Every structure is written in structure tokens, then in C-alpha cells.
Structure 1
Amino acid sequence: MPIVGKIIKSKLAVLRGYKSCSINADYRNMTKFAGDINNGFVLVRATLNS
């Protein structure tokens, strides 16, 4: 699948009060984690817990 760049503006994608982070996945798979040691899951959990 080709990389197309940003799909939406950052200010619409980031919750106020949280820092922005990137997950190496496409739009369909960015919330599907294989387990709690998956890099994307660890990043999201750490961001939400900070």
C-alpha cells in the first residue's frame, strides 16, 4: 500500500491536552493491536496515561 501522507489536519486529529504521536499502521488497522506488548499499543497507553 503506498504512503499518501497526512489524511486530516493535525489540529483535528489530536485531543487537546495530549501530545501527538504516530502509529505505523494504516487508518483501518491503527486501533487493532496484536497484544499489550505491541509497539502501537504501548505508545497509545503511555500517551493516555501521561
Structure 2
Amino acid sequence: MFGYNGYGGYGMMGGLGAWSFFGLLTWVFLIAFLVLGIAYFWKEINKPKGKR
């Protein structure tokens, strides 16, 4: 999918299993953090204006 990435190894297409695993783990953490951030922000926006 991404080939060489900036995390010190080849991403999902690399031949090195350990680096592929850590690259994948990094992407999973980034995506999870992004999703949680968006969900939290969305809840904050959609709160009733009386309660803060």
C-alpha cells in the first residue's frame, strides 16, 4: 500500500516482518487517535448550548 515510509522501515509491502509489523502498528495508532479525536470533537460541538 505505502511502500517505504518515514518510520525507519518498509511499510506493508516491505520484506522485513518486524518493520512491517511496527509500521502497521504505527498506522493503527494514528488512525485510532484520529477517529477518537473526531468523535470527541463532534460530541463537544453537538452538546446543548445551555450545558458546557
TM range, normalised to the smaller chain? 0.3 to 0.5
Higher helix proportion, which one?
A: 2
RCO comparison, higher one (Cα < 8 Å, 6+):
1
Report the structure number with the largest CA radius of gyration: 2
* TM-score with structure 2 setting the length: 0.31
